Amino acid sequence: MGKTLAEKVFETHVVDKPFEDLWVLKLDTVFCHEITTPIAIADLQAKGMDKVFDPKKIKAVIDHVSPAKDSKTAEQGKALRQWARRQGIEDFFDIGRNGVCHALFPEKGFVRPGYALVMGDSHTCTHGAFGAFAAGVGTTDLEIAVLKGVCAFKKPKTLKIELKGALPAGVYPKDAMLAVISALGMGGGTDRVLEFSGPVVDSMSMEGRMTLCNMAVEAGGTSGICMPDTTTADYLWPFIGPEGEGLFATKDEALAEYSKWSSDEDAEYDRILGIDCSTLEPLATYGYSPDKVKPVREMGEVKVDQVYIGSCTNGRIEDLRAAAAVLAPEVRKGRKVHKELRAILAPATTEVYAAALREGLIEIFVQAGFCVSNPTCGACLGMSSGVLASGEICASTTNRNFSGRMGKGGMIHLMSPASAAATALEGRISVARISAAKKGGEV
Amino acid sequence: MKKLGGKVLFLDKDDINTDELIPAKYLNEDSKKALGPYCLEDLSAPGFDRARDLPGKGAIVSRANFGCGSSREHAPWALEANGINVVVAESFARIFRRNMYNCGMVAAELPKAVIEELFSRFSGQETVMELDAEKGEILFSSTRAGILKLPLSIGEFELAMVRSGGWVEFAAKRY
Ligand code: SF4
């Protein structure tokens, strides 16, 4: 019987099985942010264990509230900053060099095929896009992870999600993932790794794969996972090739090494879910859970107060290109976002911001009347930079539409960046003109 | 082992998420205790009146996929700050379930039909739950509905966490 990729990571990383079905894994890296880490640090200090297992394997960022919005969040930033200095954690990203954790750390080349990694954040599943087992954990697990470099898991089953066909024009990885979550339901992936494969995934960029894996947890999944391939090796090349760490002389060498991190043909899956993407159309959520999904076409007249483009789901450069491609032709005609609506763009990282500047995308957003914010989680979790008032409706490219998530009494409709841009122009949920927007975001 | 359970808060809703257990805007609090007053602030569930129903409770009975969403351990902490150390539900989200045991608290699963029976027999009346993790037993009682004793299967790991008081105590020594 063959093995799934997730099983291979478990078997190569296990250091202890203290109880039936509990696998303690050695971690290749541990990620930290300023919301869930400071309490772990304080607890370690209180217990006289203020140490880390390996400062080189710990990466930390201030991202959730950036810059600090009040004294309490300033204290959280300070706690993380001082800890990073004290422990000699060199890969610490303060504001100005930061970005939303799940966009920033891949961009820095910190995730590699075959890794086992954790972070005190539920969307850590994003990093599975590189062929890693990447799981969100709570503060206690994080505490032991930074102290000892291990974390315990029940061995998850793998759920195979085959994305067949091809995405039609105007339909994006976000739409495909909303279709997956709708099919699985919110708890359908609990204690499962969601393995994405099929022609749609094969032809998808790393950004797109990260969008898929990012929302694995919205179906309860422990980690998303994609098999590493040339796209993965290309993305990582600046870090692993001769210009970087020099791990490989050629991409073929890298691919030969990474190919061991894929599921066997005869691997055993808990369930196989096939989705024909050729018949998909732009989708949006309509309730307070991410599995309540329907075609935008069937949404009816939903007037929107705020459009939000950003987050670890859809704040990457490709997402900004897709949104700008919808806006650009209208902006050229002098049109702006609908006058009864406000729109916010939060590029996911400093590098995404810089690339968007270079490509002229920021100009388009600004001319369209978007408020362009700095990289931050901000409004995604309702902590800062775009919190909703009671009764307000937001069309958002984020991943969670829970009641109150972006602000008490607010309602969120999740959708792709292109749909969000179209909505910004129309003032109500819409996909007008998005399939006409040029592919690849030429603007 | 510490006493587990107490007066029961019935929350008749699937998919109660950690944003509902403790909204993100309070994640800037720097102590577990400070979260107490905001626990369940944004929850709307059938028949639930926070001011009336939360005070004095020691346990929760709820439905499927309890604790989904954000990984915030602030959720169990907020419960603990209110004196709640057991949640019984049809199913749990992975991270929340682990967080509960990592803190030495209990997230116990019971079959859908049993949860249904608990709601129909006990909700709306003052009900007390006592959980004996060593014996693997859980007991519900109210004056009107009498006593219901149920077996509870609790895994080796979970039991060790409840015994030791949590994962830090266990793992810091072992690894
Ligand atoms: S962008 Fe939103 S979902 Fe992503 S890490 Fe930040 S708060 Fe979490």
Q: Which residues in chain B have Cβ-Cβ distances shorter than 8 Å to A405?
A: 19, 24
Cβ-based neighbours of A253, under 8 Å, separated by 6 or more: none
Our mutation pick for probing the ligand 1 site, out of A65, A93, A101, counting the most ligand atoms within 8 A of Cβ, is: A101
HEC secondary structure over A215-229 = HHHHHCCCEEEECCC
Report the Cα A296 to chain-centroid distance in Å: 23
Domain end position, chosen among A280, A310, A325: A280
Could A190 and B70 be called an inter-chain contact, meaning their C-beta atoms sit closer than 8 Å?
Answer: no
A273, exposed or middle or buried, with CB in 10 Å at 0-12, 13-18, 19+? middle
Clarify whether residues A27 and A162 are in a common domain: no
> Are A336 and A369 a contacting pair, CB within 8 Å?
yes
Give the per-residue pLDDT at A441: 41
Clarify whether residues A276 and A359 are in a common domain: no
- Give domain status of residue A17, yes or no: yes
* Partner A contacted by B94 (CB < 8 A): yes
**Adjacent-strand bridge partners of A196:** A161, A226
Q: Any idea which architecture B4-174 has in CATH?
A: Alpha-Beta Barrel (3.20)
Tell me how close the Cα of B141 comes to any Cα of chain A, in angstroms. 30
How does pLDDT run across A10-27, given as a tens digit for each residue? 999 999 999 988 999 999
What length is written for chain B?
175
* Partner A contacted by B95 (CB < 8 A): yes
Give the per-residue pLDDT at A438: 56
Cβ-based neighbours of B82, under 8 Å, separated by 6 or more: B36, B39, B54, B55, B57
Could B94 and A220 be called an inter-chain contact, meaning their C-beta atoms sit closer than 8 Å?
Answer: yes
- Give domain status of residue A169, yes or no: yes
Give the per-residue pLDDT at B32: 87
Q: How many domains does chain A fold into?
A: 3
- Give domain status of residue A81, yes or no: yes
Any idea which residue has 């073929």 for tokens?
Answer: A252
State both tokens at A308: 């939000």
pLDDT of B163 > 60? The answer is yes
Q: Which residues in chain A have Cβ-Cβ distances shorter than 8 Å to B28?
A: 35, 65, 70, 72-73, 75-76, 383
Angle at B80 between CA B75 and CA B85, to 5 degrees: 105
The atom number, within ligand 1, closest to the CA of A313 reads 4
Structural domain range at position A13: 1-155
Torsion sign across C-alpha atoms B76, B78, B80, B86: negative
Clarify whether residues A272 and A290 are in a common domain: no
Give the per-residue pLDDT at B115: 98
For ligand 1, atom 4, the nearest C-alpha belongs to A312
Q: Return the SS3 of B52.
A: helix
Among the partner residues A39, A141, A148, nearest to B175 by beta-carbon distance = A148
Q: The domain that contains A174 carries what CATH number?
A: 3.40.1060.10
Give the per-residue pLDDT at B1: 66
A37, exposed or middle or buried, with CB in 10 Å at 0-12, 13-18, 19+? buried
Q: Cα(A380) to centroid of ligand 1, in Å?
A: 6
Domain end position, chosen among A102, A132, A155: A155
User: Which uninterrupted H or E stretch holds A411?
Assistant: strand A411-414
Give the per-residue pLDDT at A193: 98
Clarify whether residues A109 and A25 are in a common domain: yes
The Cα B122–Cα A390 span in angstroms is 35
- Give domain status of residue A325, yes or no: yes
Name the residue of chain B whose CA is nearest to A44's CA: B168
Clarify whether residues A367 and A428 are in a common domain: yes
- Give domain status of residue A248, yes or no: no
- Give domain status of residue A64, yes or no: yes
Could A49 and B172 be called an inter-chain contact, meaning their C-beta atoms sit closer than 8 Å?
Answer: yes
Clarify whether residues A136 and A184 are in a common domain: no
* Partner A contacted by B168 (CB < 8 A): yes
User: Which uninterrupted H or E stretch holds A152?
Assistant: strand A150-154
CB atoms within 10 A of CB B52: 7
Could B42 and A404 be called an inter-chain contact, meaning their C-beta atoms sit closer than 8 Å?
Answer: yes
Clarify whether residues A326 and A405 are in a common domain: yes
The atom number, within ligand 1, closest to the CA of A102 reads 5
Tens of pLDDT along chain A (443 residues) come to 899 999 999 999 999 999 988 999 999 999 999 999 999 999 999 999 999 999 999 999 999 999 999 999 999 999 999 999 999 999 999 999 999 999 999 999 999 999 999 999 999 999 999 999 999 999 999 999 999 999 999 999 999 999 999 999 999 999 999 999 999 999 999 999 999 999 999 999 999 999 999 999 999 999 999 999 999 999 999 999 999 999 999 999 999 999 999 999 999 999 999 999 999 999 999 999 999 999 999 999 999 999 999 999 999 999 999 999 999 999 999 999 999 999 999 999 999 999 999 999 999 999 999 999 999 999 999 999 999 999 999 999 999 999 999 999 999 999 999 999 999 999 999 998 887 775 544 44
Clarify whether residues A35 and A72 are in a common domain: yes
Name the residue of chain B whose CA is nearest to A122's CA: B71
Could A403 and B20 be called an inter-chain contact, meaning their C-beta atoms sit closer than 8 Å?
Answer: yes
> Are B5 and B37 a contacting pair, CB within 8 Å?
no
Tell me how close the Cα of A184 comes to any Cα of chain B, in angstroms. 13
Clarify whether residues A167 and A124 are in a common domain: no
Cβ-based neighbours of A419, under 8 Å, separated by 6 or more: A175, A282, A284, A296, A395, A429, A430, A431, A434
The Cα A319–Cα A419 span in angstroms is 11
**What ranges do the domains of chain B cover?**
4-174
> Are A193 and A128 a contacting pair, CB within 8 Å?
yes
Backbone angles phi, psi at B25, to 5 degrees: -65, -15
Q: The domain that contains A148 carries what CATH number?
A: 3.30.499.10
Could A138 and B15 be called an inter-chain contact, meaning their C-beta atoms sit closer than 8 Å?
Answer: no
Clarify whether residues A416 and A334 are in a common domain: yes
Q: What is the mean pLDDT of chain B?
A: 95
- How many beta-carbon contacts under 8 Å exist across A and B? 145
* Partner A contacted by B153 (CB < 8 A): no
Q: Which residues in chain B have Cβ-Cβ distances shorter than 8 Å to A24?
A: 175
Clarify whether residues A170 and A273 are in a common domain: yes
pTM (2 decimals)? 0.96
User: Which of these, A422, A327, A309, lies nearest to A365 by C-alpha position?
Assistant: A327
User: Which of these, A150, A152, A275, lies nearest to A222 by C-alpha position?
Assistant: A152
| Pocket of ligand 1, beta carbon within 6 A | A 64, 100-102, 121, 123, 311-312, 377, 380-381, 398-399
Q: Return the SS3 of A233.
A: helix
The Cα A323–Cα A68 span in angstroms is 28
- Give domain status of residue A13, yes or no: yes
Among the partner residues B15, B32, B172, nearest to A144 by beta-carbon distance = B172
- Give domain status of residue A252, yes or no: no
State both tokens at A328: 């650009």
Q: Cα(A128) to centroid of ligand 1, in Å?
A: 16
A315, exposed or middle or buried, with CB in 10 Å at 0-12, 13-18, 19+? buried
Clarify whether residues A87 and A149 are in a common domain: yes
The Cα A118–Cα A104 span in angstroms is 15
Backbone angles phi, psi at B7, to 5 degrees: -65, 140
